[in-house]
Amino acid sequence: MPANYGRKLPLTQSEAQAIQQWLFRQKRWRDLALFMLGIDSLLRSSDLLQLRMQDVTDQNGCVRSLLLWRQQKTRRPVECHLSQPTLDMLRYWMDTADKRPSDYLFTRLLSRTDLNTPISSTMYRLLVKQWVEAIGLDPARYSTKTLRKSRVRPILEAANHDYQVPQILLGHADIRSTIHYAAIAEETALAISAQVQFFEPLRFESSPQPSGKSPEMFDENPKRRTK
């Protein structure tokens, strides 16, 4: 059983792209915008679902590539950089949904009255499980934390394993939370440990040790004998 069994897994880049392509083919624009923004922003679900149109657009109604947000859980501010594909998807979704600045970004697809009610965290979790199952992954191993965690390890590797970089982006007060999010499996940690050689190599003589008591052996009596 792998060391990370039971943890909610992040998505690899290829898995994320597979979900992106599946949602695009299904023309599920709200879900695709939610999926891409969830991964790019690194926001918790409690923050992501509270975003309104005016939070992601400037005074001219253009989608901003840099979002400023104060987290509900910690009250710490974070900055979220959005990639160009995510900006394009958000712009398309907002044009399609015909939302007002005060409307929540992600709402149920029923009627105009639902634009003032964001989708629930339960619905968000069920959507994530549906997305991963659509590309052949086990939904039990994934949750809303999956999207928040998916870019952490690539960011960490790009930062030469400086944990303060993803810590700032995630808005963690304690770096131990960031280390937990990186989710380096035990076998990976052991493989890295095996690469770090602490001692110099030993070079033994080719001739065998002479017979008799080995110099490493001690007297049966641990106290030194006196004459």
Placement of tokens 């998916």 in the chain? 150
One DSSP character per residue, 171-203 reads T-SSHHHHHHHH---HHHHHHHHHH---SPPP-
The per-residue pLDDT for 186 is 46
d(CA 181, CA 72): 19
By the 8 A CB rule, do 142 and 130 touch? no
How far is it, in rounded angstroms, from Cα 129 to Cα 116? 25
Look at residue 9 and give its three-state secondary structure.
Answer: coil
Domains by residue range for the chain, with CATH: 13-150 (1.10.443.10), 151-189 (no CATH)
Integer Cα distance of 204 and 99 in angstroms: 77
The pLDDT profile of the chain, 227 residues, written as one tens digit per residue, is 444 445 778 899 999 999 999 999 999 999 999 999 999 888 888 899 999 999 999 888 888 888 877 877 777 777 788 889 999 999 999 888 888 888 899 998 765 556 678 999 999 999 999 999 999 999 999 999 888 888 877 777 766 666 666 665 665 555 666 666 665 544 455 566 667 767 677 777 776 555 555 555 445 555 555 54
pLDDT at 100: 85
Could you identify the residue written with the tokens 């792209």?
Answer: 17
Distance CA 100, CA 84 (A): 23
Closest CA to 148 of 68, 40, 57: 40
